């Protein structure tokens, strides 16, 4: 039992560290070297509601703008534009498109 718990902890630590490194990379390379806590990033960006629309060639992820955080939403637009510039394709060939809905 102890061995399984330690192995699970090691796996989860690996995932957590990878996520933290991806967030740091995103902030430094696509949000103009922005500095913020991981908790703030999660609450401001990753917890936004949204919808997914699929067509034959594209999968659009549309996040709902949080009107209470206009500065953070403008930063998010920078990041979404960077993600879109990569031309990310799903395994079935559909292109991903990220958008922020609501008033600008």
d(CA 54, CA 74): 25
d(CA 14, CA 19): 9
Of the chain, the percentage scoring pLDDT greater than 70 comes to 94
pLDDT bucket at 34, cuts 50 / 70 / 90? confident
Tokens 């933290």 -> residue: 20
Secondary structure E strands in the chain: 50-54, 58-64, 95-101
**41-90 tens-digit pLDDT:** 999 998 999 999 999 999 999 999 999 999 999 999 999 999 999 999 99
Residue 91 burial (C-beta neighbours within 10 Å; 0-12, 13-18, 19+) = exposed
């Amino acid at each position: 039992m102890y061995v399984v718990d330690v192995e699970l902890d090691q796996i989860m630590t690996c995932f957590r560290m990878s996520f933290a490194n991806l967030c740091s990379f995103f902030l430094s390379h696509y949000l103009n070297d922005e500095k913020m806590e991981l908790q703030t990033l999660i609450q401001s960006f990753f917890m936004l509601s949204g919808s997914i629309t699929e067509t034959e060639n594209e999968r659009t992820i549309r996040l709902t703008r949080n009107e209470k955080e206009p500065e953070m939403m403008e930063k998010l637009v920078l990041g979404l534009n960077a993600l879109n510039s990569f031309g990310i394709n799903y395994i079935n060939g559909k292109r991903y498109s990220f958008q922020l809905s609501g008033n600008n």
